[in-house]
Amino acid sequence: MRVEMLRRYPVKSMLGEEVGQSEVTERGLAGDRVRAVLDVATGKIASAKNPRLWRGLLTIEGARVPGDVELSRMLGREVRVIDVPPAGAEFERSVPEQVLAEGIEAEVPHTVGTLGGASPDGTFFDFAPIHLISTSAVERIGALSPRGRVEAVRYRPNLVIATDAEGFPENAWAGRELHVGDELVLKVIVATPRCAVPTLAHGPLDRDTEALRTVARHNRVPVFDMGPQPCAGVYARVLRPGPVRKGDRVTPAG
């Protein structure tokens, strides 16, 4: 296995960028999710997991964020960009099945989450600082989708890992270490339950509801105490920091 693609997302829920190499610390890839958008009215972190309010974030390049006034105009709510999360920072996650059933304009039920269950304090990750997905999973989802393809960037990975196995090989990585290159060691925690974000328009990419529907039909994996969830990719934390480069060998251990 090897690293096929590296991506970081300078502002949470905005468009990311591909990089050729990066340092990786316990806080993830350098420059990843170092800022976020704060909804001034609610005090919550803006997340495209609530598409009705925040899908517009996925039209904005995270590396070129406009000022707060212009950003508020674009998003239709008063917001500001922050680089330190408020204490107890929360975000909303619309129930994905309801978004699929009722559409992105509908006001559907949502859950409220807190940032960083498996991340260092002061970061903007929903859960863990590293998200990986295999080329096998992307190819399998695409093959099963009526479109015949799906784009890896819809799942917002940090690392896309080139794999030869068929299906969803990363499902078996939970609890294992991944040695990446000469120094970096990751510990895979759990499969990544998918929200509505992969279905949304991402910059030039149109909406694709099958990016979630196909996963829901063909890859439900138990996640903690939530039971089987539609999953694509896995979350990981950093056991040993180090550099990562496109093309680095990836070796499972443990």
Structure confidence by residue, pLDDT tens digits, 72-115: 999 999 999 999 999 888 999 999 999 999 999 989 999 998 98
* Band of residue 117 on the pLDDT scale cut at 50, 70, 90: confident
The mean per-residue pLDDT over the stretch 141-167 comes to 97
Output the pLDDT for position 254. 76
Output the pLDDT for position 53. 96
Classified as helix, coil or strand, 239 is: strand
Q: How far apart are CA 161 and CA 232, in angstroms?
A: 13
Give the tens place of pLDDT for each residue, 160-210.
999 999 999 999 999 999 999 999 999 999 999 999 999 999 999 999 999
The mean per-residue pLDDT over the stretch 215-225 comes to 95
pLDDT above 90 as % of the chain: 94
Token reading at 141: 């989802």
Output the pLDDT for position 175. 96
The mean per-residue pLDDT over the stretch 149-154 comes to 97
Output the pLDDT for position 212. 97
Write the CA distances from 143 to 168, 229, 252, integer angstroms. 13, 20, 26
* Band of residue 149 on the pLDDT scale cut at 50, 70, 90: very high
